[in-house]
Structure 1
Amino acid sequence: MEEPWINLQVYSPFELVLFGVGCSMWVVVYFLYARHIARHMMIGMPVFAAASNFGWEFVWGFLPPYTDMGLLFLWGYRIWFFFDLYIFYGVWRYGAEQLSIPALKRYFKPLIIFVAVCWGLLYWFFKAQGYDTPIGANSAYVAQILISILYLLLILRHRKFVWSSAPIAWLRSLGTGFISIFMFLHYPENYLLLMLCTLSAVIDGVYLYVFHRRTSVGHAIETGG
């Protein structure tokens, strides 16, 4: 049986729109990241979160069983991965600047590849042994919590990375927000997932507050930023 482009048997049109809007925002975020790497030769995304993302997108974009939302969303996952190829290259090349431990900096390139492979294996076993939903939601929000926490830690620890893009900060948070609303509608009894969605929203809200406080004109003058 040929796979449909959109699965309207399991998911309502409203749910699909919510999920699609959120995913599209993340595509724009990835494009902005790739452009930022090309222009500035630096990576503002937390490097270990990027490694986790890379592993998840490979597992859910290319290893069966695929998402049951339809081919449109499967190719959405794959578009994420193709953007992430370049982003991960940027992480591999420039990401050592985020580390403060000299020994880790020295071995950063093999370390980040090892971390990405480990995350990929973790997400694969999560999927293969039946711990995930048909769209990879449980593991995706494990990755999302990691992203949210590491973004907040990065902005608190490294002042030079504060001056990242406001569109990235908002699109990332809003994109995840739309997807989280979908999760509450479609998986109302998956309390683990809903807890992860809630924690992610709270941490992202704190991040946006810190981001805008750090990038305000008054604070920039005060700190010499």
Structure 2
Amino acid sequence: MFHVFFVTGGAAWVITYALMIRLGFRQKTYCMPLVALCANISWEFAYSFVTPYPGALRLAIIAWFTLDVVLLYQLLRFGPAEFPHLPRPVFHAMVLLTLAIAFPTVLTVNSFFHDPWGVYSAYAMEILMNGLFLAMLIARPSARGQTVPITVLRVLGTASITLAFTRWTPDFPNAHTHLLTWLYIGTTVLDLVCLGAVAYVTTRATQRLTTSAAGSTA
């Protein structure tokens, strides 16, 4: 059952990434915050090629990594426009520096917790990612780069993987700690907060457009 729930969650994340890519090209922006993307792609590279997950689980992670490469391309292509005060080479250097820091950090955290599955680093990144998605929602004048369907799929994907790890915990030295339990809870709470925030901003934008259209007609 662990494999079933993990692969189900993995499939939801594959669709999430694909929808992000489509939205990013359509809106000419990036859909995953810089630090979150660098951390994600580092984790996925580690568990695809350095210390790979077994069997079908590895295939899911390789799929994530492949799609994240496209998201990274969008970040490098469209990201500088979001920071007009930064020269393009400086922005690109900032991304590369973040990647250079993120990858050894992921490996170090996993080694410190004797965690061959990377659960600690993965859920710490999930909390970070949610915070950065909220910050992006605040920084941008709209929900640009985010949609309710994308957020729903992201939440469901993480929930399925969380269920896999909590219900059928793989055997490793620190598989049962209060810290890991808190990471599961914190991720779930922030997932729901993000979903509520994106739904609120999207609904408000739709209401403003409807009101504006009605006023124009009148």
**What is the TM-score with the length of structure 2 in the denominator?**
0.84
1:85–1:223 distance in 2 versus 1, CA, 3 Å: farther
Q: Distance in 1 between matches of 2:34 and 2:209?
A: 25
**Secondary structure in structure 2 of the residue aligned to 1:78:** helix
Q: Is the 8 A contact 2:142 2:201 kept in 1?
A: no
Q: Quote how far apart the aligned CAs of 1:72 are.
A: 0.8
Q: Distance in 1 between matches of 2:131 and 2:35?
A: 11
Q: Distance in 2 between matches of 1:96 and 1:199?
A: 32
Q: Which residue of 2 aligns with 1:63?
A: 50
Q: Aligned match of 2:156 in 156, 160, 174?
A: 174
**Secondary structure in structure 1 of the residue aligned to 2:142:** helix
Q: Aligned match of 1:143 in 118, 122, 125?
A: 125
**Secondary structure in structure 2 of the residue aligned to 1:160:** coil
Q: Aligned match of 1:185 in 161, 167, 183?
A: 167
Matched residue count: 206
Q: Aligned match of 1:194 in 176, 181, 185?
A: 181
User: Percent identical across equivalent pairs?
Assistant: 24
Q: Which residue of 1 aligns with 2:172?
A: none
Q: Deviations over 1:118-137 (max 9, x none)?
A: 1011112233x352533211
Q: Distance in 2 between matches of 1:223 and 1:178?
A: 40
Q: Quote how far apart the aligned CAs of 1:164 are.
A: 2.7
Unaligned runs of 5+ in 2: 170-174, 214-218
Letter in 1 for 2:27: H
Q: Is the 8 A contact 2:2 2:164 kept in 1?
A: yes
Q: Deviations over 1:150-174 (max 9, x none)?
A: 0111112212344632211100011
Q: Aligned match of 2:20 in 29, 33, 46?
A: 33
Unaligned runs of 5+ in 1: 1-13
Q: Which residue of 2 aligns with 1:206?
A: 193
